[in-house]
Structure 1
């Protein structure tokens, strides 16, 4: 892998935490004011790649107390992650295999099992397949999407490899998640089909419980930093 491609690799939660720690140090040292800190802090947790994270701290020195510099090397997942995925891949299990929306909509979310092959058909309608908490009936599942003046959105959790093979005619197939390596033992999702005057989107999101936890942590961190700032001003 060449250096030019490294900034395009996906960042992990640990990478974002390292950048957030550098921002906290910069705020404490007076290098950032509160408004700048808030803007960069929010951008840190929205960042998806190493390149985006590097821009956030490009004008800040890494202090001696800051965590180790941002690493552009992707480390293999731990055995615990593999075990978690093995529990969610239920080979041979009977899962949901289709969703149809005609001038309406369908959704699959929460705890459910997606079959080895899932067919989605949307005619002037829409569908959503949320795989963040789903089980998989096979290590590789294929979602075949056929839309006419409609759309389907597929949500995958971090660690799942995605490949898109679809065609959009006066529409589009989202392939932004292609090429992102999956975790060892994680399922692979293939999205294929045809979008005619419609669209198929693929996006990667944290599980909802994890999203809520991180939002709560960010709110608490902002509250604590603002309180510390006020106390320092009062002492001055």
Structure 2
């Protein structure tokens, strides 16, 4: 109990994520249950390899990343007088987290995330909008999706939707 109290005190005094990481470095990894591993494998698709693309640009036009595609750890999207759609529901994640930087300049970007993913949206809308309604916790071992960026006289909209194939997980 004493060790717990010491760690808890240090957590409350930590100023950076690095400080917190030092506090947990000596702790053992949690075992992954068969159901959780199955869930993770479903998102990883059981496949490795290079991402389909790391950048999408729509200038006076559009772009789509939909269906089954290999999503990278870092993805940048730019819509200038155009639009784009990033649908992650059937994407194969190359890591447990994807960071999307979305920039909409007099255009729009729609990001669709699986309803059970952990989602963090932080962006700024200047004479436009940057929707964060999809932010929130997800299911254990689900992918973590971070969307950041800016919308200038345009919009970035992040929505949660169920996966198209809506597969049930085996426990």
TM-score (norm 2): 0.71
Match status 1:80 vs 2:61: no
C-alpha RMSD of matched pairs (Å):
2.1
**Higher strand fraction: Structure 1 or Structure 2?**
2
Higher-RCO chain (CA-CA 8 Å, sequence separation at least 6):
2
Unaligned runs of 5+ residues in structure 2 are 1-32
Aligned partner of 1:148 in structure 2 is: 105
Separation in 2, partners of 1:190, 1:91: 22
Unaligned runs of 5+ residues in structure 1 are 1-77, 212-236
| Pairing partner for 1:125 from 76, 82, 104 | 82
The secondary structure found in structure 2 opposite 1:166 is strand
Separation in 1, partners of 2:40, 2:90: 11
The structure number with the bigger radius of gyration is 1
Aligned partner of 1:194 in structure 2 is: 150
* 1:59-138 to 2 correspondences below 5 Å: 79-80=34-35, 82-89=37-44, 93-95=49-51, 96-138=53-95
TM-score (norm 1): 0.52
Post-superposition offset of 1:82: 4.2
Match status 1:178 vs 2:106: no
Post-superposition offset of 1:210: 3.5
Kept in 2: contact 1:129–1:154 (CA 8 A):
yes
Q: Deviations over 1:24-52 (max 9, x none)?
A: xxxxxxxxxxxxxxxxxxxxxxxxxxxxx
